[in-house]
Amino acid sequence: MSTKNTARTTTRLPAGHSARVPSVTGSAVFAGCPELIGTPFSYAREEEIYGEAEEAEFVYKVVEGAVRTHKVLSDGRRQITGFHLPGDLFGFGQGETHRQTAEALADTHVLIFRRRQIERAASGSAAVACQLWTMATNDLRHAQDLTLLLGRRSATERVASFLMEVDERLGATGTFTLPMTRRDIADYLGLTIETVSRTLSQLEEEGALLRAGGRQVSLRRARLRRVVED
């Protein structure tokens, strides 16, 4: 068994994979619930945070960096099910074990909370229960939107929609650095890497985005929105 994260099989916090990071300001997981304070930890790029079918003892909140969750299909293909960016909570699914694998996309800082602690807080606080309910409904809405995107949209529409979503989640500044690779994007949108690369070049040629080396992009949201709506 991997020793990357001993929290999978014990009640201790993860150890032996990376250094603990300094205390983080605003380390409560929910507003108005100061007793739920997370323990800060860091993960290196490509490091596994938890694996599919492992005990779901902890819940994680991204402070800095980014995380992907995925499943490996029976034929060996990888389906990325989500990207978790700063401020996002992940690992709080149904059941006693994780249904997906979570990995850090870059050097990532998280806050770790015990799942039972959150459940107890929700049972005693209507405010916490409402915040959990809001998170659950947002996750369901996102899953429905993704189903529509994969089932009814062209490759160009998928990539354009994805870029606008990431921009919005990173503050809607219009200029940002993609935390994920083209392979990650392809495995999330159900496309090939070649299709993602070709689509990005096409959108750039059409003036819908600008690329400044690496993964930094600047969006022309009005043009991207027309691509999706048309």
Q: Where in the sequence is the domain holding 200, given as residue range(s)?
A: 153-229
Same domain, residue pair 117 and 192: no
Same domain, residue pair 103 and 206: no
Q: What is the pLDDT of residue 106?
A: 96
For the chain, the domain total comes to 2
**Entry pTM:** 0.80
Is 140 inside a domain boundary? no
Is 148 inside a domain boundary? no
Q: What is the pLDDT of residue 38?
A: 84
- CATH number (domain holding residue 211): 1.10.10.10
Same domain, residue pair 12 and 120: yes
The three-state secondary structure class of 55 is strand
Q: What is the pLDDT of residue 14?
A: 57
- Residues 173-209 pLDDT 10s: 999 999 999 999 999 999 999 999 999 999 999 999 9
Distance CA 81, CA 105 (A): 14
Which residue ranges of the chain lie beneath pLDDT 50? 1-12, 15-26
- CATH number (domain holding residue 46): 2.60.120.10
The three-state secondary structure class of 91 is coil
Distance CA 65, CA 55 (A): 24
The per-residue DSSP string of 129-183 comes to: HHHHHHHHHHHHHHHHHHHHHHHH--HHHHHHHHHHHHHHHTTS-SEEE-SS-HH
- Residues 7-33 pLDDT 10s: 433 334 554 344 443 334 445 566 666
| Longest CA span, the chain | 55
